[in-house]
Chain A
Amino acid sequence: ETGVTQSPTHLIKTRGQQVTLRCSSQSGHNTVSWYQQALGQGPQFIFQYYREEENGRGNFPPRFSGLQFPNYSSELNVNALELDDSALYLCASSLASADTQYFGPGTRLTVL
């Protein structure tokens, strides 16, 4: 059984650019949630996708958007990057929207 995978591992962007992060869910999981973890803090919920539809959103601006594909993999897109977007971005998958969430290793984004 393959766990949650994320790509890329690290990414460096400049302010104003756009970025796409990718996540492959654990086998059999149809739900993907994205979190932002700033240095020294707990993860903050961005949004969740269940069967290709957004199923809940945290307190993040519209420049954070996402997609889920028929194979349940997912993308997180961030437009107009700001310095405060520098963080570890975590993807978590679960069997269903209310089930246990299993996290991937994260993508470390640095915005200069």
Chain B
Amino acid sequence: QQQVKQSPQSLIVQKGGIPIINCAYENTAFDYFPWYQQFPGKGPALLIAIRPDVSEKKEGRFTISFNKSAKQFSLHIMDSQPGDSATYFCAAMEYGNKLVFGAGTILRVKS
């Protein structure tokens, strides 16, 4: 049972474009929603995270939009660069310890 559904599976944008990755969840007990970036052969690196009492959070070129009533959240990458090409995972924290991950989105930014 996939508790966090992530889309799209893959995404190609031109340099400077704004890729958007979407996630949806069902469990209303989730109270923390991080996004991770993973390069091949490396562990996931935390990009940005949000809690459900906030509708938007921005850190540098990365923005999370959060819609509590729809149980959806998304990642926007402003002015995307070829170096942003990686796999992105959304996640949700359950019961204070367990991170539940989406299936991942492979992003390619063309120069």
Contacts and interface: CB of A to CB of B under 8 A. Distances in A.
A98 B97 contact: yes
A100 B102 contact: no
Contacts of A56: 95, 97-98
B99 A90 contact: no
Interface string A7-41: 00000000000000000000000010101000011
B45 interface: yes
A97 interface: yes
Contacts of B104: 40-42
B98 A43 contact: no
Most chain A CB within 10 A, of B41, B42, B93, B97, is at B97
B12 interface: no
A48 B97 contact: yes
Contact of A45 (B32, B89, B100): B100
Contacts of B49: 100
B99 A101 contact: yes
B44 interface: yes
A54 B42 CA distance: 26
Contact of A103 (B6, B43, B100): B43
Contacts of B44: 43, 90, 103
Interface in B69-111: 89, 91, 93, 95-104
20 contacts: A4-B43, A33-B98, A42-B6, A42-B89, A42-B91, A42-B103, A43-B99, A45-B100, A48-B97, A48-B98, A50-B97, A55-B97, A56-B97, A58-B98, A97-B96, A98-B96, A100-B34, A103-B36, A103-B44, A105-B42
Interface of A: 4, 31, 33, 35, 40-45, 48, 50, 55-56, 58, 90, 92, 97-98, 100-106
